[in-house]
Structure formats: structure tokens, C-alpha cells
Amino acid sequence: MAGGNHSRVTEFVLLGFTDPQQLLFVIFSLVYITTLVGNLGMIVLIKTNSQLHVPMYFFLSHLSFLDICCSSSIMPKLLSGLLAERNIISFNGCITQFFFFAVFGTTEAILLAVMAYDRYMAICEPLRYFAVMSHVVCVQLVVGSYAAGSLNALVHTSALLRLSFCGPNLVDHFYCEIPPLLLLSCSDTWLNKVVMATCIGFIITTSLLAIVVSYTCILLTTWRIRSAKGMHKAFSTCASHLMAVALFYGSAAFLYFCPFSRHTEDQGKSASVFYTMVTPMLNPFIYSLRNKEVRSTLRRAMNKVLFCMYPHRSCSNQAKADMTCHDGVSRRNKADT
């Protein structure tokens, strides 16, 4: 039965979590809404502010877009399943969900490496930065990341379609992922395991290597900066990216490099929750709270919103401020006389 897709299973049942379903629905709904609002807000903030139209924020806007897509490929089905007695997904729906999740997840892994290279150019080659990291080059790097992510997803999806699933159809996970699906196949999954280890290992290894090399060069360059203020500025621009890298690669490495041990099923779900829900939710907050430009842009945007909502109050506050200033000047003039 290994040759071709002679699948007897037409649908899968996602077992998900054993915790109270209503409580999880509320928690995951809040996480998903926060992810959408935070990342959409980051994209709008970058697009509407001309001061943020630089390579670093161009990549950051695509990172936010990937976080939205990665979370949206899983969360709607998960939330609807929490309200149903059984979370059923069709065979084609399961394969489609896996494909899109693999596209966005792989693209994000590569994009994080691209962002590390961008930080290397900005700190180590500041005079050549805008010449090298032109808009055309940035677009090419982003398109290349999406292409590599799509190719990786296509390879794994094709490898899954060659398998046969004769039953059972109970997937011990909350979304369609390679390791739990391979456990259900009645075909020989040796090739799939080799392909998964090779492709994912290559992507994670090369991406992490690019990040390590970039930050090693950054560290050596900052050691030569005698100004403490200059060193602080250099490290502050990299801190947000390093936190995002640690969150993403830490959970992804645990998820894919320890996938087949039956003793780590709950740990695998926990790592998946962190990888698919928590990290996309935290990324916009990490970049907004640690980045001075984003904070100042967000503050100005909030002031504009408040002015539109309460124009009379804003005007009266401004008038009071002007009156206070005028009274202060009058008192000083009287004191001088």
C-alpha cells in the first residue's frame, strides 16, 4: 500500500486538549484576538509612518504578516473544535492546513535570518547600508524567503500524499502536523522521516548559522566602539530580534527534533502552543516595547486617535496649557518690574 495515495481515511479527529474546553476557548480566543490586533497594528503603524520606511521595519512588517497567517492557519479550526463535541477535519482540509502552516512557519524562520543580516549591515557596514540594502534587494530577500518556505512545504506535503491512512484516524494533536500524522499511517514512513529531518534540519541549521555569524560580527564591532552610548544603541537595536529568535527557534527545535517519543506528547503540545500561539502574540509587543522609534510612532498615533475622539477636550486642554504658560509669563514680568 506504500505506492500511491490509497487512503481509506476521509477525515481525522483532532483530539486536542483534555483541559476544560470552555476555559481554553476563552483563553485561546483572547490570544488570537491579541495576535491579530497587535500584528495588524504593527503593519499599519509601519505603512503609515514614513520614518519607518527603512529595511528593518520593512522586514518587521512581513514578520507581523507571517505571524497573522501562521496563527490563522490553525486558530479558527481549533476554536471551532473546542465548541464541538469532536474536532473533525477532512483529509484534504488536514493536508491544506499543514501546507499553509509549513509555508508560513518556514518563511518566518528564514526571514529571521534575513533580519539578522540586516542588523549586521546596519551596525558593521553603516556607510554601505542603504546602498546594499536597497528596496529592490529587500524585496528579493523577502520573495526568496517565501519561495523557500513554499518549496519546503510542497516537499513535505508531497511526501505525506504518498502515504496511506487505513485507520485509526485519531490525531493526538490540536492541528495537522507531520509527527502525529506519521504515527497513523499504515505505509512505510521511513522516507518521510528522512525528508523531515533533512529539510527542517537544514533550514534551522543554516538559518541559525547565519544569525550566529551575523551577531558574532556585530559583537566584535561593538567591542571596538569606545562610546558606552554607542554600544547601548547597537545592542538595543538587536535585543528585540534576539528575543524573537530565541522564542521561535527554541520551541521549533524542541518540536521537530524530539517528535517521535511517546513520552513527550504533552510536552510536544505545549511546545506547539508556544510555537503557534504565544510567539506570534508576543512578537509585536517585543518589538514595540524594546524599540524607541516604534514607541514614539505609537505614541503619536494614539495622540491623533484621542484628538479625533475628543477634539473639544484636546482643544480645551491645549487652551489651559496656553493660559497657564501665559500666566506664568505675566507673573515673571511682574516680578521683574
Mind listing the pLDDT tens digit for each residue in 97-109?
999 999 999 999 9
Residue from 153, 87, 142 nearest 118 by CA: 142
The mean pLDDT value of the chain amounts to 82
Task: State residue 242's pLDDT score.
Answer: 81
Q: For 12-23, write each residue's pLDDT tens digit.
A: 999 888 778 889
Task: State residue 236's pLDDT score.
Answer: 66
Dihedral sign of CA atoms 117, 138, 291, 28 in order: negative
Residue from 145, 135, 141, 152 nearest 100 by CA: 152
Is residue 256 a contact partner of residue 200, using CB atoms and an 8 Å limit?
yes
Residue-level length of the chain:
337
**Residue 124, all three cell numbers:** 558593521
In this prediction, residue 330 has a pLDDT band, given cuts at 50, 70 and 90, of very low
Tell me which long-range contacts 233-237 makes (C-beta under 8 A, separation of at least 24).
234/123, 236/290, 236/292, 237/56, 237/119, 237/122, 237/123, 237/291
**Amino acid letter, residue 162:** R
Is residue 5 a contact partner of residue 164, using CB atoms and an 8 Å limit?
yes
Q: For 122-178, write each residue's pLDDT tens digit.
A: 888 889 999 999 999 999 999 999 999 999 999 999 999 999 998 789 998 899 988
Q: For 167-204, write each residue's pLDDT tens digit.
A: 789 998 899 988 889 989 998 899 999 998 899 889 98
pLDDT at 34 over 80: yes
**Residue 239, all three cell numbers:** 535585543
The answer for residues whose C-beta is within 8 angstroms of residue 195's C-beta and 6 or more apart is 155, 156, 159
In sequence order, the β-bridge partners of residue 88 are 13
Task: State residue 233's pLDDT score.
Answer: 62
Residue ranges of domains in the chain, CATH in brackets? 11-254+264-309 (1.20.1070.10)
Compute the chain's Rg from CA coordinates.
25
In sequence order, the β-bridge partners of residue 171 are 14
The answer for residues whose C-beta is within 8 angstroms of residue 102's C-beta and 6 or more apart is 149, 152, 153, 156, 157
Burial of residue 231 (CB within 10 Å: 0-12, 13-18, 19+) is: middle
